[in-house]
Amino acid sequence: MGLLRTIDATVEPVSTAEAKANMRYTLSVEDAVIDGKIKTAREMAEAELHRSLLPQTWELTMDKFPESIQLYYPPIIGVSTLKYREATAGVWTTLNPSSYTVDIKSEPGWIVPAYGYDWPDIYDTINAVEVTYTAGYATPAAVPAKIKEWILLYVGHLFENREATIPGVSITPLPFLDRLLSDTVYTF
């Protein structure tokens, strides 16, 4: 099974102006740096929470149809396509949405065959089933306030502590620093 974000969020949960106000920073010379820190903070929050904070597109691949398909990184907005390699020639075929049911209210979301339907037979190969779906809160305003507050605090911390160490100065270790790369690994 594989999970890949194919289209990232096009907006961030907090704006540059909000981050600067929170940091009490007024100059515009560092705006690009602050924008980068906002994106990093959002990605860290998503990895920590296993949630999509703003609309983004995900592609889930599986070798076969399970009894039910779990959709990761909620909240789920909807399923765009559910494709499979048909059993005889291995040709990609899009499953009719009327033959399956999507549960976007549960977290994580689920896809199951609709009443009276079964999953079709598939070609015996890796990644024979592919689901494309969107997940995330609809707008930055819909992102829960405490997540936005965490992002603002994290941006400020990243902005003030740009180096892991400063020569000749003892600074408090950043416990999350080692997780910057390890949190990008998805575990299911």
Domains annotated for the chain, with CATH where assigned, are 2-53+139-182 (1.10.3230), 62-135 (no CATH)
* SS3 state at 25: coil
pLDDT band at 186 (very low <50, low <70, confident <90, very high): very low
| Tens-digit pLDDT profile for residues 61-100 | 999 999 999 999 999 999 999 999 999 999 999 999 999 9
Could you tell me which residues come within 8 angstroms of residue 159 by beta carbon, excluding any fewer than 6 positions away?
19, 23, 25, 30, 33, 34, 37
- Per-residue pLDDT at 143 exceeds 60: yes
Considering only residues 75 and 180, tell me which one the structure prediction assigns the higher pLDDT: 75
pLDDT band at 41 (very low <50, low <70, confident <90, very high): very high
The residue to which tokens 């690009």 are assigned = 32
pLDDT band at 167 (very low <50, low <70, confident <90, very high): low
